[in-house]
């Protein structure tokens, strides 16, 4: 029997809780696979009080006897990856077999420096608020067909040639445009060769590994990074990341065919957050936003920046359902809403006296819209130990049912706390 692919996708602006959902579903998975993004991601997993933050490693690394794959679509920062690995090894928690695609592009030191220099040179209104992890410049080189791939780190001659031409160009940019010091070839070359030696045991044909697993009837879980509204095509361009976090990106970023994808779980936070710049119509800049930030611990797992907080946006969520072909919703952090007298949901965008319910990612439009809210009754009961949907307070159940009705997608998992088992599982 053929195996199947299930995808865990961020439905909003990232940080929905994808890492913890991947970890919580880990028992039923054989292969965990990252398909895009890089160390801009920060996926927090809490198991028995111990906190792990994954940036490049898939969040399945804590499971014994499973395979974790970093696919061709990821941009891999070897320094970050090796640090993450040795930290996990130090804790004795590196339990999965790790496979890294030789075709994944490498984030080089000049990508990070360029990312930071470009961001610093942007005017206030056009800053993206990137994580500074070199993501954009690395994808630029990939699509410009001059990038360095993991396989190049294992080939000293190819590496020398590619690094020379890349660095010549980047150093011109640093010295002539950004008024920055040039980087040294020798230093980076030496560093890159040593990365190659450290990574070599893990490098393999990731697409083949996944497809063999599927041929053996296994279950492959795709772990999205970032979220739908940060997608380079479908998000709030240019305030986006440089990859395709949406479900279709999973096939391209791993070399797995679309017909295997049986389920697409959209991870939806029960309210909404955004980190970095860009429009956020349902942001609450007042006390409730601060309440959500404090209670939800809404500070970036990668950069530590405070996340902007606000209300669930149904206009954007219905769009994310469409773009991803979402078959299930995983609603996280419902417990964070406990204690609010009123829970609001943005149901339309008002602009020039007209209400629209279809999403449009144009930032000039989004910056000018007024959110139209529907109000729900809040609840006070502590729900963090609830494991059965019927045991939730009436008001919380009404909120969940509303989301299902509006999206037409079942809410099959509900997060009531950050621990692995703090979930209500209704139907997988």
Q: For the chain, what's the residue count? A: 428
82 binds, among ligand IMO, Mg ion, ligand GDP, none (CB under 5 to 8 A by kind): none
Residue with tokens 């800053």: 127
Q: Which residues bind ligand IMO (CB under 6 A)?
A: 10, 13-15, 40-43, 128-131, 133, 135-136, 225-227, 230, 241-242, 275-277, 301
Q: Is position 294 annotated as part of the catalytic site? A: no
Spatial separation of the C-alpha atoms in residues 300 and 138, rounded to whole Å: 22
Spatial separation of the C-alpha atoms in residues 372 and 386, rounded to whole Å: 32
**Between 14 and 78, whose beta carbon lies closer to ligand IMO?**
14
Phi-psi region of 14 (alpha: psi -120 to 50; beta: other; left: phi over 0): left
For the bound state, the minimum distance from the C-beta of residue 179 to ligand IMO, rounded and expressed in Å, comes to 22
Spatial separation of the C-alpha atoms in residues 318 and 359, rounded to whole Å: 8
Spatial separation of the C-alpha atoms in residues 263 and 98, rounded to whole Å: 24
Q: Is position 162 annotated as part of the catalytic site? A: no
Spatial separation of the C-alpha atoms in residues 390 and 294, rounded to whole Å: 28
**Between 196 and 418, whose beta carbon lies closer to ligand GDP?**
418
Spatial separation of the C-alpha atoms in residues 227 and 273, rounded to whole Å: 11
The one catalytic residue among 23, 43, 55, 162: 43
Please state the three-class secondary structure of 85-129 as a single string: HHHHHHCCCCCCEEEEECCCEECCHHHHHHHHHHHHHCCHHHCCC
17 binds, among Mg ion, ligand GDP, ligand IMO, none (CB under 5 to 8 A by kind): ligand GDP
Specify the DSSP element, H or E, that contains 19: helix 18-24
Annotated binding-site residue? 304: yes
**Between 131 and 282, whose beta carbon lies closer to Mg ion?**
131
The one catalytic residue among 55, 113, 142, 162: 142
Answer yes or no whether residue 156 interacts with ligand GDP by CB under 6 A: no
Annotated binding-site residue? 191: no
Annotated binding-site residue? 219: no
**Between 76 and 167, whose beta carbon lies closer to ligand GDP?**
76
Report the candidate in 243, 245, 250, 249 with the shortest Cα–Cα distance to residue 220: 250
Q: Which two structure tokens, joined as six digits, stand for 350? A: 């008002």
Spatial separation of the C-alpha atoms in residues 58 and 43, rounded to whole Å: 9
Near ligand GDP by CB under 6 A: residue from 26, 37, 38, 42? 42
The one catalytic residue among 15, 94, 115, 141: 15
Near Mg ion by CB under 5 A: residue from 10, 38, 42, 245? 42
Spatial separation of the C-alpha atoms in residues 397 and 392, rounded to whole Å: 6
For the bound state, the minimum distance from the C-beta of residue 12 to ligand GDP, rounded and expressed in Å, comes to 9
228 binds, among Mg ion, ligand GDP, ligand IMO, none (CB under 5 to 8 A by kind): none
Q: Is position 197 annotated as part of the catalytic site? A: no
Answer yes or no whether residue 301 interacts with Mg ion by CB under 5 A: yes
Residues lying near ligand GDP in the complex (CB under 6 A) are found at 10, 14-20, 42-44, 46, 297, 301, 332-333, 335-336, 415-418
Chain residues binding Mg ion by CB under 5 A are: 15, 42, 301
| Active-site residue list | 15, 43, 142
């Amino acid at each position: 029997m053929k195996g199947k692919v299930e995808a865990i996708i961020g439905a909003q602006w990232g940080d929905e809780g994808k890492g913890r959902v991947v970890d919580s579903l880990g028992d039923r998975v054989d292969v965990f696979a990252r398909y895009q993004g890089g160390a801009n991601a920060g996926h927090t997993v809490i198991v028995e009080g111990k906190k792990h933050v994954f940036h490049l490693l898939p969040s399945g690394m804590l499971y014994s006897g499973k395979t974790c794959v970093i696919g061709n679509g990821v941009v891999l920062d070897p320094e970050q990856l090796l640090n993450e690995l040795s930290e996990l090894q130090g804790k004795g928690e590196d339990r999965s077999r790790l496979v890294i695609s030789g075709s994944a592009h490498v984030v080089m030191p000049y990508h990070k420096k360029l990312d930071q220099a470009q961001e610093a040179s942007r005017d206030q209104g056009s800053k993206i608020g990137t994580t500074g992890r070199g993501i954009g410049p690395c994808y630029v080189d990939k699509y410009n067909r001059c990038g360095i791939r993991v396989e190049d780190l294992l080939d000293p001659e190819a590496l020398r040639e590619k690094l020379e031409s890349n660095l010549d160009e980047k150093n011109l940019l640093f010295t002539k445009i950004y008024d920055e010091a040039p980087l040294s070839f020798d230093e980076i070359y030496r560093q890159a060769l040593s990365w190659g030696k450290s990574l070599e045991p893990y490098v393999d044909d990731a697409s083949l590994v996944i497809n063999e697993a599927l041929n053996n009837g296994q279950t492959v879980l795709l772990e999205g990074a970032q979220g739908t509204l940060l997608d380079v095509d479908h998000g709030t361009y240019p305030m986006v990341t440089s990859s395709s976090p949406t479900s279709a990106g999973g096939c391209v970023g791993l070399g797995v065919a679309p017909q295997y994808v049986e389920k697409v779980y959209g991870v939806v936070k029960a309210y909404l957050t955004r980190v970095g710049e860009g429009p956020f119509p349902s942001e609450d800049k007042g006390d409730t936003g601060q309440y959500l930030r404090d209670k939800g611990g809404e500070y970036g797992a990668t950069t530590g920046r405070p996340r902007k907080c606000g209300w669930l946006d149904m206009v954007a969520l219905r769009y994310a359902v469409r773009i991803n072909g979402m078959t299930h919703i995983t609603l996280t952090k419902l417990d964070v809403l406990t204690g609010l007298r009123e829970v609001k949901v943005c149901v339309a965008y008002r602009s020039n006296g007209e209400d629209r319910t279809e999403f449009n990612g144009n930032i000039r439009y989004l910056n000018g819209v007024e959110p139209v809210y529907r109000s729900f009754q809040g609840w006070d009961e502590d729900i963090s130990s609830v494991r059965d949907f019927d045991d939730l307070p009436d008001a919380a159940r009404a909120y969940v049912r509303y989301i299902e009705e509006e999206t037409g997608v079942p809410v099959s998992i509900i997060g009531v706390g950050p621990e692995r088992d703090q979930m209500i599982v209704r139907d997988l």
